[in-house]
Amino acid sequence: MLSLPDEMIAVLRPFAPVFRRRVWERALVLVVGALLVPGQRTVASILRVMGLSHERHFQNYHRVLNRDQWASRALSQILLRRLLDAFVPPTTPVVVGIDEHIERRRGAKIAAKGIYRDPVRSSKAFFVKTSGLRWISLQLLVPIPWAQRTWALPFFTVLAPSERYHQQRKRRHKTITDWGRQMILQVRRWLPARALVVVADNAYSVLELLARCVRLPRPVTVVTRLRLDAALYDPAPPRRAGIRGRPRLKGKRQSPLAQRITDPQTLWEAVTVRWYGGTERAIEIATDVAVWYHGGLPPVTLRWVLMRDPEKHFETQALLCTDPTVAAPQIVEWFVLRWQLEVTFHEVRTHLGVETQRQWSDGAILRTTPALFGLFAVVALVTQQLLGDDALPVHRSAWYPKGAPTFAETLAFVRQHLWQARISALSLGESDMVEIPRVLYEHLTSTLACAA
């Protein structure tokens, strides 16, 4: 029987009803092994680190991913509720970010792969293409008390197959905005009574998506970039009595945002907002309420925000919020949180082995990468259980002073508790015991826990 710390059992127990008993026992081995193993996150590597190199029925662990019956979406719902209970008070809006991640994968049997722009290796002046799988991830943006900053915790990740994949199967291709709309609606169904804010980049600045979120019985607030040449209008004037015909959808055309940037009559307000890295920064903003309208598409009433840097370190940008009552500084601070998604993508590649798995069957591909993303959030939950009100210890060295703990230290903290639980559960005879100094033992476990 697998021995785990009580705190980790408390975190993982709510997921057990999704699995049959035997499948759950094997799934636990895969979860713990994926946390402990350095390097590639393959089933073979996991079995080795868990001491199951001589397991004759190793194929049963592969079947957890490619054949056994369990629902990833049900796990996502449970994980989201656990994260809200741990980090988000009931009266606080739930802020989530949505973005895509390209998992670089090759192989003739990986059917859903496509050719995409590599966001890690590309820049504004240099375009790099790569073969891989495109994932859309929803991540909870929440301040972590012991990390002293906001983290993006993945809880719902979906594969968006390439256009060629759908053409070969004669299916209608779903764009990333189609997937994003369905994922947002799913979260709204999971949280019907909570205030929900979605932060996205300009790929989701699409009228159909924004209109669908606004027209829900409990609207979802969307914060994203806005094109500087977007067709913005004044809100429609009140309908006068006795006027026949369809009500007006918009009022007078507003000046383009690109023109407002250089217009001397634009009113700029100096504000101080929470910026990247948890710092504060002074910027200037201009804002107003408008209707974004395009012929044949539903109009959306929004608040637009122009923000510029008095020191001219970044270009003037435009943001939108589908809730016109939200203050402009709050819109900027919500949008700034979106950068944490990029940090999480880097961490799961570096420390949780995304892109190192080798499954090629459709079922295993659909489950493995979302599970590795979800492990990032599980590590945060386990750490919260282990620490309580205490602070997470930070590994410092003479040449690298650190302030706040990183995810690497958080993962090492969880690994140390897992190794201690495994070692204490061993019942070895006296002839099998090897005595070593405690200083050396702690050094070995610390080094093993920090291995990438």
pLDDT of residue 448: 66
Task: Examine the pLDDT at 289 and tell me if it is beyond 70.
Answer: yes
Average pLDDT, the chain: 90
Q: Give me the DSSP letters along 112-159.
A: T-EEEE-TTT--SS---EEEEEEEEEEEEEEEETTTTEEEEEEEEEEE
Between CA 139 and CA 72 the distance in angstroms is 15
Between CA 262 and CA 422 the distance in angstroms is 65
- According to DSSP, the β-strands at 196-199 and 280-292 are unpaired
Q: Residue 77, Cα to own-chain centre: how many angstroms?
A: 14
> Do 118 and 130 meet the contact criterion of CB atoms below 8 Å apart?
yes
pLDDT of residue 213: 96
* Residues with Cβ within 8 Å of residue 142, at least 6 apart in sequence: 83, 87, 88, 95, 150, 151, 153
**E strand or H helix at 284:** strand 280-292
* Residues with Cβ within 8 Å of residue 265, at least 6 apart in sequence: none
Task: Examine the pLDDT at 75 and tell me if it is beyond 80.
Answer: yes
**E strand or H helix at 339:** helix 339-351
265 three-state secondary structure: coil
Q: Is residue 205 part of a domain?
A: no
Number of H helices, E strands in the chain: 14, 11
The string of pLDDT tens digits covering residues 21-63 is 999 999 999 999 999 998 889 999 999 989 898 988 999 999 9
> Do 412 and 402 meet the contact criterion of CB atoms below 8 Å apart?
no
Q: Is residue 361 part of a domain?
A: no
Q: Is residue 259 part of a domain?
A: yes
- According to DSSP, the β-strands at 300-308 and 94-104 are unpaired
9-13, 74-78, 104-108, 244-248: segment of lowest average pLDDT: 244-248
What pLDDT band is residue 223 in, cutting at 50, 70 and 90?
A: very high
Task: Examine the pLDDT at 331 and tell me if it is beyond 60.
Answer: yes
262-271, 355-364, 391-400, 420-429: segment of lowest average pLDDT: 420-429
pLDDT of residue 15: 97
What pLDDT band is residue 432 in, cutting at 50, 70 and 90?
A: low
Q: Is residue 65 part of a domain?
A: no
What pLDDT band is residue 216 in, cutting at 50, 70 and 90?
A: very high
pLDDT of residue 137: 97
Task: Examine the pLDDT at 81 and tell me if it is beyond 70.
Answer: yes
Task: Examine the pLDDT at 117 and tell me if it is beyond 90.
Answer: no
Of 315, 298, 297, residue with least CA distance to 306? 315
3-7, 189-193, 304-308: segment of lowest average pLDDT: 3-7
pLDDT of residue 443: 61
Q: Is residue 262 part of a domain?
A: yes
- The total domain count for the chain is 1
pLDDT of residue 3: 78
Unique residue bearing structure tokens 């700034």:
336
The string of pLDDT tens digits covering residues 174-201 is 999 999 999 999 999 999 999 999 999 9
Task: Examine the pLDDT at 428 and tell me if it is beyond 60.
Answer: no
> Do 116 and 136 meet the contact criterion of CB atoms below 8 Å apart?
no
Q: Is residue 229 part of a domain?
A: yes
What pLDDT band is residue 391 in, cutting at 50, 70 and 90?
A: confident
User: How many C-beta atoms lie closer than 10 Å to residue 197's C-beta?
Assistant: 23
Task: Examine the pLDDT at 426 and tell me if it is beyond 80.
Answer: no
* Whether the predicted model's global pTM rises above the 0.85 cut: yes
Q: Is residue 254 part of a domain?
A: yes
Instruction: Give me the domain span that covers residue 279.
Output: 222-237+249-326
Task: Examine the pLDDT at 1 and tell me if it is beyond 80.
Answer: no
pLDDT of residue 227: 93
Question: Angle 59-66/21-36 helices, nearest 10 degrees?
Answer: 100
- Which two tokens mark 68? 């056994």
Q: Is 404 exposed, middle or buried (0-12, 13-18, 19+ CB in 10 A)?
A: middle
Task: Examine the pLDDT at 239 and tell me if it is beyond 70.
Answer: yes
Q: Is residue 261 part of a domain?
A: yes
Of 262, 321, 312, residue with least CA distance to 282? 312
* Residues with Cβ within 8 Å of residue 8, at least 6 apart in sequence: 382, 385, 414, 417, 418
